[in-house]
């Protein structure tokens, strides 16, 4: 009897909650019939659900397996961007199916698959996998949220744009994990209008390994900066009837070594550039060697003027070699404390004075920094202003200072390096620019990242991690007569590249 009453209560509850029609519970038969009917109905419902679930499960598993196989097959012939969108698990499965033995990060897996695809497509090995990827298909890397860098080659990178650091909600951050790399590149990267369009000239593309200077390599770039390409950024040559003078300048870092073993001679430079005057720095010559060298150095340049270090032999040294005979020549600054290292030669032409200078390096540990900024720079600046009283002045040479952040690939990392200290940069501005001398290259190329010096260590030239230490500074009165101020970064016989100035007379 208690069981029947409990069943009746359950039946009443079910009727109330499920909307069944009301019945009288006066007889046991009625209660039992209703309970049995409910039991059978519930069993039938559970049975149908179980059958549906049982039927659906294998179908779902088959669909998943088929989809997985389809994804694997699609990966076999997919583009690099599709490979980037696959998960690490999918990539590992695909490498296993293709018989590729590779471990590591997602980047390693993608590279191995891309190399495999390249071998199958071209029948040859050795091609870099990155060469198969377009710039927007390579994974983006952020540094501190300040800029977006798209890696385009293994040894160099191109800055596409600089975007501000934006705060994002946790929801957006989580959802972005499922976004493909290509979608990220579209939504988060805005291509700068100033990016140089890629061209092919003489079979070489600007980002070829043979022209690393055409890749923007800078750790703190501004959005408007572009890399230097002398093939496209130099003005057309002057007409033959225009009176002009071409001056070249080059820190050769040891003239004897350059002529003996470095594969590019001063004579080759003359044949290529057809300059009128050549200024040299860091010749490292001794007085006893000059007569022998200057007679065989250049054909047709009969006027040459050399100064050597007498305080330390085989050190420093400057020279001016010209096919135009100057009106006068002067060696040094006229100050004995500065003139024992052979750092300055001055020649006078009809329309201007020309100086070649090798400014002292502040040295390891900045031992000569104080001498440099308190004695040498002011003396050189005052000497130039004194000459300017009678004629305009042109100063060229290795001035051992990257004046602005645009002039060095890693400004933050070199704040206390010789050539980029605040003291040297301020001295450069105070003693030269503020006195009215114009940096001709920066005037012609205000937003161009160009270097003239690359250290021999760490493969700096090939990765374009350089400094702009070499200059042509001219008096304001002749700045508008400068037709071209340029660098020749392809000449790598020294750790400095030659630079040139074309001046209309």
Q: HEC string of 349-362? A: CCCCEEEEEECCCC
Six-digit token pair at 141? 């890397």
Point out the catalytic residue in the list 353, 358, 451, 453: 358
Angle at 45 between CA 40 and CA 48, to 5 degrees: 125
Alpha carbon separation from 272 to 77, 264, 312 (Å, rounded):
49, 11, 34
Q: Is 496 a catalytic residue?
A: yes
> Which distant-in-sequence residues (6+ apart) come within 8 Å of 298 by Cβ?
266, 267, 270, 278, 304, 321
The DSSP secondary-structure symbol of 459 reads G
317: helix, strand or coil? coil
Contacts with 242 (C-beta within 8 Å, 6 or more apart), sequence order:
504
Check the annotation: does 209 bind a ligand.
no
Which of 207, 377, 398, 470 is flagged as catalytic?
398
Per annotation, catalytic residue among 338, 403, 483, 496: 496
Q: Using an 8 Å Cβ cutoff, are 300 and 267 in contact?
A: no
- Residue 282, annotated ligand binder? yes
Spatial contact of 421 and 369, defined as CB atoms under 8 Å apart: yes
Cα–Cα distance between 66 and 45 in angstroms, integer? Answer: 32
> Residue 495 annotated as binding?
yes
- Distance between CA atoms of residues 420 and 362, nearest Å: 10
Q: What are phi and psi of 91, to 5 degrees?
A: -65, -40
What angle, 0 to 180 degrees and rounded to 10, lies between the N-to-C axes of helices 106-122 and 88-97? 40
Cβ contact 213:231 at 8 Å: no
Three-state SS across 111-155?
Answer: HHHHHHHHHHHHCCCCCCHHHHCCHHHCCEEEECCCEEEEECCCC
Note whether 404 and 426 are within 8 A (CB): no
Q: Which residues contact 410 (CB under 8 A, 6 or more apart)?
A: 218, 219, 465
Catalytic, 208? Answer no
List the beta bridge partners of residue 328.
348
Helices 88-97 + 28-76 axis angle, to 10:
60
**DSSP structural state of residue 213:** G
CB-based contact 393:384 (threshold 8 Å): yes
490 is catalytic: no
Q: Are strands 147-151 and 140-143 parallel, antiparallel or unpaired?
A: antiparallel
Task: Report, as residue numbers or ranges, the catalytic residues.
Answer: 358, 398, 496
Q: Give the residue numbers of the binding site for Mg(2+).
A: 251, 282, 398, 400, 495-496
Q: Which residues are annotated as a binding site?
A: 251, 282, 398, 400, 495-496
């Amino acid at each position: 009897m208690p069981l029947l009453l409990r069943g009746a209560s359950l039946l009443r509850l079910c009727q109330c909650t499920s909307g069944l029609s009301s019945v009288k519970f006066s007889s046991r038969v009625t209660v039992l019939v209703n309970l049995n009917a409910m039991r059978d109905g519930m069993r039938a419902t559970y049975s149908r659900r179980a059958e549906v679930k049982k039927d659906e499960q294998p179908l779902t598993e088959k669909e998943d397996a088929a989809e997985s196989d389809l994804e694997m097959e699609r990966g076999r012939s997919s583009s690099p961007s599709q490979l980037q969108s696959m998960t690490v698990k999918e990539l590992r499965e695909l490498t296993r199916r293709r018989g590729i033995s590779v471990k590591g990060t997602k980047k390693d897996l993608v590279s191995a698959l891309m190399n495999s695809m390249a071998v199958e497509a071209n029948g040859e090995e050795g091609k870099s996998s990155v060469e198969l990827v377009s710039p927007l298909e390579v994974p983006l890397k952020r540094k501190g949220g300040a800029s977006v860098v798209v890696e385009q080659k293994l040894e160099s990178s191109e800055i596409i744009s600089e975007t501000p650091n934006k705060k994002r909600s946790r929801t957006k951050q989580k959802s972005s994990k499922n976004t493909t790399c290509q979608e990220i590149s579209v939504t988060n990267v805005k291509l700068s209008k100033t990016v140089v369009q890629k061209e092919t000239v003489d079979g070489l593309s600007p980002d070829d390994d043979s022209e690393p200077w055409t890749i923007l390599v800078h750790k703190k770039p501004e959005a408007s900066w572009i890399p230097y390409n002398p093939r496209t950024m130099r003005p057309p040559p002057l007409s033959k009837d225009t009176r002009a003078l071409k001056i070249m300048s080059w820190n050769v870092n040891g003239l004897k070594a350059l002529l003996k073993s470095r594969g590019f001679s001063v004579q080759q430079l003359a044949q290529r550039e057809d300059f009128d005057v050549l200024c040299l720095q860091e010749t490292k010559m001794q007085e006893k060697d000059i007569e022998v060298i200057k007679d065989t150095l250049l054909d047709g340049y009969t006027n040459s003027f050399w100064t050597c270090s007498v305080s330390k032999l085989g050190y420093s040294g400057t020279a001016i070699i010209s096919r135009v005979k100057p009106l006068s020549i002067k060696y040094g600054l006229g100050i004995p404390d500065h003139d024992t290292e052979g750092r300055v030669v001055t020649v006078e032409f009809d329309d201007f004075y020309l100086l070649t200078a090798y400014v002292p390096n502040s040295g390891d540990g900045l031992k000569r920094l104080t001498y440099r900024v308190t004695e040498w720079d002011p003396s050189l600046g005052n000497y130039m202003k004194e000459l300017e009283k009678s004629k305009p002045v042109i100063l060229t040479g290795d001035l051992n200072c990257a004046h602005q952040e645009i002039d060095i690939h890693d400004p933050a990392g070199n704040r206390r390096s010789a050539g980029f200290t605040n003291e040297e940069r301020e001295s450069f501005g105070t003693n030269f620019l503020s006195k009215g001398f114009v940096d001709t290259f920066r005037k012609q190329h205000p937003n161009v990242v160009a270097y003239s010096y690359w250290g021999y260590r760490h493969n700096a030239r090939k990765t374009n991690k350089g400094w702009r230490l070499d200059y042509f500074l001219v008096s304001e009165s002749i700045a508008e007569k400068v037709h071209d101020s340029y660098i020749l970064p392809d000449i790598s016989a020294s750790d400095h590249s030659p630079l040139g100035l074309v001046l209309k007379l």
